């Protein structure tokens, strides 16, 4: 049956930033599809809550509390998966971010930090994970979480948008290097209702503007991203690599504009 292609029975995934938001939704979605998961973030209480939901779905979550800005800590997650579960099939790089800042206030160091956090962390885990995927599972699937801001220019997002654009192209380049045994794809979320958008969600005027600027007339849900990740990680997505899946409600222009004075 076609639905069987969306199963992840007895596979093992590492999901970073899994204490809440998109990472938590992806980890839980994978568990509901049959996978065990290594979940990592800085806040143990968040991770324990998600681990409980994974276990309620009948699977096992291995919790790793770590500062995911530390490249060595991120790389160590691959070994943790193999040590706990004996294999590694899937990696979801869901670490990143950078505060909005006017262009002329964005120092070169800000760009370097954004690149290190959004691209360097992904690369650190990819380098550590791929040999273990090949040794324990004869291949695998890597999913990088980028952003619509990586393709849609917006004011005050130079560091963040540039780093996310780099992650999208890193995805395409890595897919060529690692094919045919390891697939590498990305998801570019639009505006998703997580804690990062709490200020917007709580302001009827701002939320209305963003919804109106989105062709589907709503903001995204974490489950929208989880469903896309399941497609890319599962046999259903086995003929995709080097692709960036835009899960953004149809955006062709930014739906959040930060007001800045003209030069």
Return the active site residues.
Answer: 160
CA distances to 1, 8, 11, 60 from 4, in Å: 6, 9, 14, 21
- Report strand pairing: 36-41 vs 140-145: unpaired
| Nearest in space to 161 (alpha carbons), one of 225, 110, 198, 228 | 110
Tokens of 29: 């979605």
Q: Which residues contact 124 (CB under 8 A, 6 or more apart)?
A: 71, 72, 74, 75
12, containing H or E segment: strand 12-16
Q: Which helix (H) or strand (E) holds 14?
A: strand 12-16
- Calpha distance 242→172 (Å, rounded): 4
Q: Cβ distance 181 to 239 under 8 Å?
A: no
Which residues contact residue 42 at a Cβ distance below 8 angstroms, ignoring those fewer than 6 apart?
A: 19, 65, 66, 67, 68
Count CB neighbours of 169 within 10 A: 14
Q: List the alpha helices (DSSP H) in the chain.
A: 21-32, 44-56, 71-85, 108-115, 121-137, 158-178, 198-201, 204-212, 222-233
């Amino acid at each position: 049956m076609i639905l069987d292609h969306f199963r992840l029975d007895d596979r093992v995934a590492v999901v970073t930033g899994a204490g809440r938001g998109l990472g938590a939704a992806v980890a839980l979605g994978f568990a509901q599809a049959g996978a065990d998961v290594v979940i990592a973030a800085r806040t143990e209480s968040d991770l324990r809550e998600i681990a409980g939901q994974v276990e309620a779905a009948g699977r096992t979550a291995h919790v790793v509390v770590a500062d995911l800005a530390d490249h060595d800590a991120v790389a160590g997650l691959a070994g943790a998966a193999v040590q706990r579960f004996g294999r590694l099939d899937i990696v979801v790089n869901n670490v990143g971010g950078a505060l909005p800042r006017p262009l002329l206030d964005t120092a070169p160091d800000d760009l370097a930090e954004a690149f290190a956090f959004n691209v360097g962390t992904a690369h650190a885990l990819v380098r550590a994970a791929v040999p273990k995927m090949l040794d324990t599972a004869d291949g695998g699937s890597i999913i990088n979480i980028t952003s619509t801001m990586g393709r849609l220019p917006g004011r005050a997002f130079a560091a963040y948008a540039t780093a996310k654009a780099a992650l999208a192209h890193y995805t395409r380049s890595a897919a060529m290097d690692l094919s045919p045994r390891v697939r590498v794809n990305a998801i570019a979320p639009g505006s998703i209702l997580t804690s990062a958008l709490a200020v917007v969600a709580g302001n009827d005027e701002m939320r209305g503007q963003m919804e109106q600027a989105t062709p589907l007339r709503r903001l995204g849900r974490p489950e929208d991203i989880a469903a896309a990740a399941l497609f890319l990680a599962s046999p259903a997505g086995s003929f995709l690599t080097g692709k960036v899946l835009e899960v953004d409600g149809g955006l062709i222009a930014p739906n959040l504009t930060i007001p800045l004075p003209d030069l």
